[in-house]
């Protein structure tokens, strides 16, 4: 069993380095970083000692990623010093970081989809070569997967491209914890549970606790504040490129965290805020999942917000895409009576046009309405962009800037503006809040409710149970089928978990 | 490992097995295409299915297979080589002249040309250039050099090369043995060695590879150098068969090689290639090209069209098979 | 100064600078002799590259792997069709042009049909199609020795003050293409598909129709080019389009269009076409052999792309 790997005694080299006694694995002093005119980090002092799990929270654009890139060696600070195991690092780099036992699981997956799980493991271990390397790599990754996710069901010879996104994330995480020749002291996990369901997230976080208990360290970045509160020993809060709080996890609760992060105030459940809506509303969508055998179906009327719940990847996105397709050409089993727009959750692959400005990215769904005669009117396009910049709060000096000049949360807002600015009466949301900061989330929730009150229909797939509070009806999915229909009043986390894990085969 | 994994993801074992099965079938398609063409030949002319028949029909398969492998290496790194055909022609001209008359100079020229390929890989990576344009330009360069080396068709292959290419082993025709050997060697090198993984990974997710500390410059140089090496082998094999050269002798190979890689199940991006498939694809093309058409009594005007039609039919069959599987 | 800087930052400007330098080098060699005539000749010849170049540009802008390899065969067949339909009679010029356009458009449509139905990469689809078209052309055009109607031949060679009328019309056409690219739904859709085809579909772009239109457009422009070439060179010919495979791709890329898709540049097509034509003129003027000419052409293409390079491209 490879579990022993996490408990290996630190190589003797560490003791020789001065200052190792104080237990610092990594320490940054006065780290600063500018990207053009933007100050991403403004003199941050940050450290991790061995045997602790540091939770790192903050809105998108608060500087968390920049800070982590420095720790991982992918970015060099403009000024400030970095010490690892007590020794100053003059020319710090990714390979140096790996040598020193620091690894990072980045948010964007870094697996090669065309290679097998074992081959992907080989990529991170130069020493896995020579005769029998394939067997060694397979054993290494299989043992680590068994250790972290005991019921993972992944074979070392599966091609990564064939795996679901959740399983890919499991491989990615497990790979970061494999040990060959290099030491392993600190693993940075950047949103490690964003594609995992509750069950596997729990397994991973339990493993992180075991890993830390074995004297190693972790930095955990997550927008799910509960995860951080429950699993971190110390929580560091960042805001506007500065560290605004660093304290034992016990000193925080959810409300205090949200306050320190500087988002809109934490608020209570939107308890049945919507007034009783008029009864007879026109039907907008009637759809039955492909594999549905009983009579259950999804029905949405004008002005309704319908939640699609359940574990990640159980057919919610498939149904949304089928509804999207049915709007363009008729499909059996699906009825759509109004124009449809989709807000993508996976921004990079499903949403963003990387070469275009923010305004162009918003306008693409509404080109027909932006025309003046045959030609698209630049003025109308700018007006549309300006209207939504104000309405949804896209933080940029100029909507003609490239879309990538925005932080992740603001890019997501632009995608919302694209859908809401269009003529679509039905808006499909494919888990759009994945990895978005809480401030943006709250703003968008308000907007969605406002638009629904005006008569728009929302079909909202989400992996975050608290978002379902905004929905009028919730359909729980399992294995591609609807297994439960809940109204908002009936909604509890337990009910959803029950349905998701139930034996409704 | 736990004996009964709880399936927590919808895209669980069932979906994954389906994906793996589809991939397996995709992997078998090149072989099926080849079998189809063989059946057609056997039906039209049973006598062709013999030691002599295969030696004759597959005569040109070796250079085509080598050129296809060269193209496959370039495609593994998400690039495309539009100059491989004229490069094969250039190598042919050098083989029929310098390599015979002054072997040392000939070897030096050929080694140098592999070096140029490696440099191109470096250039494409360092300057972030679109490879189709660079190799498009290089196709003029190789053609120009070929004309300078051999202004008029002629020259003669070195005797040792002629001896190798006319080798007649027992029972199994030489081209088949050579194809098996090429497929086995390249499959081992690219699919089984630990550095082969890095080469394919450079096409699958270059950013991840760089982050893991690998040099993408080196992978690109290695892939292009390998393309150059197999291009040289292709040109030499070609001249070993035709015995004399012509500056335009390899021009058709650029498109044949691309078609071979694709017929063999390779994809243009993402590092998804198969050396065995590529060799089978090349054999299919070599068979489908002239021998089959001659048996079918197709007039010369329409031979080119028949080539295209066969390509389309084989690809259509591929779509049908993979659609039924789904 | 600032405007000069923004001008220099545009990728297409370099192709014009290159064309200018080549022209200057040539007249320096001839001592100024034939400077004007060379421009006229270059404009006349560049027209044919620009027309197919614009079609190829739209295709390439659809994203990685999109390229029309059937253009040479298309041009060859359309030139034969145009000459046969015109039959040497001035009254049939318009009908002949329409026939060539229709022939090209049909080829483009078939190309897309193959891509769509067989789900094969466009390179392979257009390549397979070009094999078939080539045979049709060989068979159809065998022994075809029809001269273009005198009116048509004169029209393709017609000059006003040393400027070919065809070039003026082509400039107008390219202006239209540039407007279509940036300001029309069609062009925006092409750019969106080229950047991210899945995102384009999810943003409501009718991906299938736009791709179909683009391949049909490229085919139609190839057909038009075939007819014009036959008029200019006074006769159809199977090989008349051969050089336009490489030339159409080269002008698109040298002109600053991204091979990775999603970013196109119409003025650059003109600059690059003039550059390539003048380059050949220069090498011919210097009297170099065929081998050296090919060698230098290749090296210059590689050199230009290396100098202009550094752009992010998928391949």
In this predicted model, what pLDDT tens digit does every residue of B219-256 receive, in sequence order?
Answer: 999 999 999 999 999 999 999 999 999 988 888 888 78
Q: Is residue B108 part of a domain?
A: yes
Reported as a pLDDT band with limits 50, 70 and 90, residue B293 is low
Query: How far is C-alpha A37 from the geometric centre of its chain's CA atoms?
Result: 27
Contact in structure between B260 and B71 (CB atoms under 8 Å): yes
CB within 8 A of A328, min separation 6: which ones?
C206
Q: Is residue B254 part of a domain?
A: yes
Mean pLDDT of all residues in B166-181: 89
Cβ of A404: how many Cβ atoms within 10 Å? 12
Cβ of A5: how many Cβ atoms within 10 Å? 17
pLDDT at residue C159 is higher than 70: yes
Determine the residue of chain B that is closest to C252 in CA distance.
Answer: B133
Measure CB to CB from residue A162 to each of B6, B23, B208 and give the nearest one: B23
Q: What are the pLDDT digits (tens) for C225-255?
A: 999 999 998 888 888 888 888 889 888 888 8
Which of C199, C201, C256 is the best mutation test for A, with the most CBs of A within 10 A? Answer: C199
pLDDT at residue C59 is higher than 90: yes
Domain count for chain B: 1
Q: What is the pTM of this model?
A: 0.78
Span of A304-313, A485-494, C210-219 with lowest mean pLDDT: A485-494
Mean pLDDT of all residues in B195-219: 92
Report pLDDT for B183: 96
Q: Map out the domains of chain A with their CATH numbers.
A: 2-261 (3.40.50.300), 283-501 (3.40.50.300)
Determine the residue of chain B that is closest to A501 in CA distance.
Answer: B8
C78: nearest Cα among C58, C66, C96, C65: C96
For residue A441, give both structure tokens: 């989330």
Q: Is residue B40 part of a domain?
A: no
pLDDT at residue B307 is higher than 80: no
Measure CB to CB from residue B262 to each of C124, C250, C310 and give the nearest one: C124
Q: What share of chain C is helix, strand, coil (3-state, %, to 5)?
A: 75, 0, 25
Q: Let me know the angle formed at the C-alpha of C242 by C181 and C180, rounded to the nearest 5 degrees.
A: 10
Against chain B, the chains showing at least 3 CB pairs within 8 Å are A, C
Q: Is residue B73 part of a domain?
A: yes
Q: What are the pLDDT digits (tens) for A74-101?
A: 888 888 889 998 888 888 888 888 888 9
Determine the residue of chain A that is closest to C198 in CA distance.
Answer: A350
Contact in structure between A410 and A396 (CB atoms under 8 Å): yes
**Residue A331 DSSP one-character state:** B
Q: Is residue B43 part of a domain?
A: no
Reported as a pLDDT band with limits 50, 70 and 90, residue C105 is very high
User: Hey, are the CB atoms on C135 and B302 less than 8 Å from each other?
Assistant: yes
Distance CA C147, CA C140 (A): 16
Distance CA A224, CA B285 (A): 56
Reported as a pLDDT band with limits 50, 70 and 90, residue A37 is low
Q: Is residue B87 part of a domain?
A: yes
In this structure, the strands spanning A426-430 and A340-343 are parallel
Determine the residue of chain A that is closest to B5 in CA distance.
Answer: A151
Which chain C residues are within 8 Å of B146, Cβ to Cβ? 291
Which chain B residues are within 8 Å of C120, Cβ to Cβ? 262, 315, 319
Q: Calculate Rg over the CA atoms of chain A.
A: 24
Query: How far is C-alpha A168 from the geometric centre of its chain's CA atoms?
Result: 14
Spell out the CATH class of C11-308: mainly alpha
pLDDT at residue A239 is higher than 60: yes
CATH number at residue B200: 1.10.3470
Determine the residue of chain A that is closest to B21 in CA distance.
Answer: A162
User: Hey, are the CB atoms on C185 and A368 less than 8 Å from each other?
Assistant: yes
Q: What are the pLDDT digits (tens) for A348-369?
A: 888 899 889 999 999 999 888 8
Residue by residue, what is the 3-state secondary structure of A430-491?
Answer: ECCCCCCCHHHHHHHHHHHHHHHHCCCEEEEECCCHHHHHHCCEEEEEECCEEEEEEEHHHC
Min Cα distance C222 → chain A (Å) is 26
Reduced to 3 states (helix: H, G, I; strand: E, B; else coil), residue A99 is: helix
**Is A169's Cβ below 8 Å from some Cβ in B?**
no
Contact in structure between A39 and A70 (CB atoms under 8 Å): no
Which of B312, B314, B317 is the best mutation test for C, with the most CBs of C within 10 A? Answer: B312
Q: Is residue B37 part of a domain?
A: no
pLDDT at residue B17 is higher than 90: no
Question: Alpha helices, DSSP H only, in C31-147?
Answer: 35-61, 71-86, 93-118, 122-140
Min Cα distance B261 → chain A (Å) is 16
Contact in structure between C82 and C155 (CB atoms under 8 Å): no
**Is C312's Cβ below 8 Å from some Cβ in A?**
no
Contact in structure between B175 and B59 (CB atoms under 8 Å): yes
Q: Which residue has the higher pLDDT, A273 or A224?
A: A224
Return the bridge partners of A357, or none: A402
Measure CB to CB from residue C196 to each of A353, A365, A378 and give the nearest one: A353
Contact in structure between A115 and B190 (CB atoms under 8 Å): no
Q: Which domain holds residue B141?
A: 48-295
User: Hey, are the CB atoms on C295 and B144 less than 8 Å from each other?
Assistant: yes
**Is A114's Cβ below 8 Å from some Cβ in B?**
yes
Q: Is residue B198 part of a domain?
A: yes
Reported as a pLDDT band with limits 50, 70 and 90, residue B71 is very high
Beta strands in A50-148 (DSSP E): 53-57, 79-84, 87-88, 102-105
Q: Counting Cβ atoms within 10 Å, is residue B264 exposed (0-12), middle (13-18) or buried (19+)?
A: buried
């Amino acid at each position: 069993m490879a579990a022993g790997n996490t408990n290996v005694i630190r190589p003797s080299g560490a003791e020789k380095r001065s200052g190792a006694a104080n237990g610092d694995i990594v320490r940054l002093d006065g780290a600063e970083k500018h990207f053009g005119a933007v100050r991403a980090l403004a003199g941050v002092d940050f450290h991790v000692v061995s045997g602790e799990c540091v939770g790192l929270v903050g809105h998108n654009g608060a500087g968390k990623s920049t800070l982590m890139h420095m720790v991982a060696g992918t970015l060099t600070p403009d000024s400030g010093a970095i010490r690892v195991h007590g020794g100053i690092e003059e020319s710090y780099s990714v390979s140096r970081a790996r040598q020193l036992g620091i690894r990072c699981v980045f948010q964007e997956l870094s697996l090669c989809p065309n290679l097998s799980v074992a081959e992907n493991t080989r990529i991170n271990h130069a020493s896995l070569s020579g005769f029998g390397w394939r067997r060694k790599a397979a054993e290494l990754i299989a043992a680590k997967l068994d250790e972290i996710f005991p019921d993972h069901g992944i074979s070392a010879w599966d091609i990564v491209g064939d795996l679901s996104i959740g399983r890919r994330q499991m491989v990615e995480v497990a790979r970061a914890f494999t040990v060959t020749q290099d030491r392993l002291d600190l693993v940075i996990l950047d949103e490690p549970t964003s594609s995992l369901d509750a069950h596997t997230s729990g397994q991973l976080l339990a493993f992180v606790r075991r890993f830390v208990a074995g004297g190693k360290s972790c930095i955990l970045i997550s927008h799910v504040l509960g995860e951080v509160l429950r699993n971190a020993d110390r929580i560091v809060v960042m805001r506007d490129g500065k560290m605004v709080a660093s304290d034992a996890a016990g000193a925080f609760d959810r409300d205090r965290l949200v306050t320190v992060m500087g988002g809109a105030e934490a608020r209570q459940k939107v308890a049945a805020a919507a007034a009783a809506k008029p009864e007879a509303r026109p039907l907008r969508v009637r759809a039955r999942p492909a594999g549905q055998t009983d009579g259950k179906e999804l029905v949405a009327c004008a002005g309704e917000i319908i939640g699609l719940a359940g574990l990640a990847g159980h057919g919610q996105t498939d149904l949304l895409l089928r509804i999207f397709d049915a709007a363009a050409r008729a499909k059996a089993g699906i009825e759509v009576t109004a124009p449809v727009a989709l807000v993508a959750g996976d921004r990079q692959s499903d949403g963003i046009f990387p070469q275009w400005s923010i305004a162009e990215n918003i306008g693409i769904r509404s080109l027909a309405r932006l025309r003046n005669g045959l030609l698209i009117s630049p003025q109308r396009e700018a007006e549309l962009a300006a209207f939504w910049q104000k309405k949804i709060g896209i933080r940029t000096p100029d909507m003609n800037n490239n879309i990538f000049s925005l932080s992740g949360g603001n890019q997501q807002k632009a995608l919302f503006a694209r859908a809401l600015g269009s003529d679509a009466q039905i808006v499909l949301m494919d888990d759009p809040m994945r990895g978005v900061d809480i401030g943006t989330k709250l703003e968008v929730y308000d907007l969605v409710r406002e638009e629904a009150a005006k008569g728009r229909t929302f079909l909202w797939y989400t992996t975050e149970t608290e978002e379902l509070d905004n929905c009028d009806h919730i359909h729980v999915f399992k294995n591609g089928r609807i297994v439960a229909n809940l109204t908002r009043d009936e909604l509890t986390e337990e009910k959803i978990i029950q349905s998701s894990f139930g034996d409704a085969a | 490992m736990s004996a009964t994994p709880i399936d927590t993801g919808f895209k669980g074992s069932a979906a994954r097995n389906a994906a793996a099965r589809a991939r397996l079938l995709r992997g078998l398609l090149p072989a099926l295409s080849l079998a189809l063409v063989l059946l057609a030949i056997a039906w039209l002319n049973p006598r062709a299915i013999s030691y002599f028949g295969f030696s004759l029909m597959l005569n040109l398969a070796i250079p085509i297979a080598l050129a296809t492998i060269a193209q496959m290496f370039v495609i593994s790194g998400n690039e495309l080589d539009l100059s491989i055909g004229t490069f094969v022609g250039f190598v042919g001209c050098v083989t029929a002249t310098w390599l015979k008359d002054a072997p040392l100079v000939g070897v030096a020229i050929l080694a140098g040309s592999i070096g140029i390929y490696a440099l191109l890989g470096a250039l494409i990576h360092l300057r972030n250039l679109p490879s189709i344009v660079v190799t498009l330009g290089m196709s003029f360069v190789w053609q120009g050099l070929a004309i300078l080396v051999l202004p008029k068709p002629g020259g003669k292959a070195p005797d040792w090369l002629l001896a190798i290419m006319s080798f007649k082993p027992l029972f199994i025709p030489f081209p088949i043995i050579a194809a098996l050997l090429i497929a086995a060697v390249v499959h081992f090198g690219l699919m089984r060695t630990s550095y082969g993984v890095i080469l394919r990974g450079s096409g699958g997710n270059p950013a991840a590879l760089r982050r893991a500390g690998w040099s993408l410059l080196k992978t690109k140089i290695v892939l292009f150098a390998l393309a150059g090496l197999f291009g040289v082998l292709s040109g030499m094999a070609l001249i070993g068969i035709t015995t004399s050269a012509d500056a335009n002798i390899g021009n058709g190979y650029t498109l044949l090689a691309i078609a071979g890689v694709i017929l063999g199940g390779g994809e243009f991006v993402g590092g998804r290639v198969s050396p065995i498939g590529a060799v089978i694809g090349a054999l299919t093309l070599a068979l489908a090209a002239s021998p089959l058409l001659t048996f079918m009594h197709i007039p010369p005007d329409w031979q080119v069209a028949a080539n295209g039609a066969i390509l389309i039919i084989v690809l259509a069959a591929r779509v049908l098979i993979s659609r039924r599987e789904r | 100064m600032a405007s000069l800087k923004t001008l220099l930052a545009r990728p297409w400007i370099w192709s014009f600078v290159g064309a200018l330098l080549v022209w200057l080098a040539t007249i320096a060699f001839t001592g100024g002799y034939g400077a004007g005539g060379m421009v006229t000749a270059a404009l006349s010849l560049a027209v044919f590259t620009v027309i197919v170049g614009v079609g190829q540009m739209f295709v390439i802008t659809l994203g990685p792997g999109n390229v029309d390899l059937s253009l040479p065969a298309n041009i060859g067949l359309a030139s034969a069709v145009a000459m046969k339909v015109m039959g040497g009679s001035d009254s049939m010029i318009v009908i002949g042009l329409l026939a060539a356009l229709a022939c090209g458009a049909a080829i483009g449509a078939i190309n897309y049909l193959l891509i769509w139905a067989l789900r094969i990469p466009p390179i392979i689809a257009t390549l397979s199609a070009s094999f078939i078209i080539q045979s049709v052309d060989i068979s159809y055009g065998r022994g075809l020795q029809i001269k273009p109607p005198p009116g048509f031949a004169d029209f393709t060679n017609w000059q006003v003050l040393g400027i070919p009328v065809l070039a003026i019309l082509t400039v107008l056409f390219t202006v239209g293409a540039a407007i279509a690219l940036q300001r029309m739904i069609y062009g925006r859709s092409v750019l969106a598909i080229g950047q991210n085809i899945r995102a384009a579909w999810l943003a409501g772009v009718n991906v299938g129709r736009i791709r179909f239109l683009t391949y049909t457009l490229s085919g139609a422009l190839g057909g038009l080019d075939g007819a014009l070439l036959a008029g200019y060179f006074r006769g159809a010919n199977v090989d008349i389009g051969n050089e336009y495979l490489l030339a159409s791709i080269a002008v698109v890329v040298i002109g600053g269009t991204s091979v990775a898709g999603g970013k196109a540049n119409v003025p650059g097509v003109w600059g690059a076409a003039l550059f390539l034509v003048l380059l050949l003129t220069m090498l011919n003027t210097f009297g170099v052999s065929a081998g050296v000419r090919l060698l230098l052409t290749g090296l210059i293409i590689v050199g230009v792309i290396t100098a202009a390079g550094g752009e992010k491209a998928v391949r």
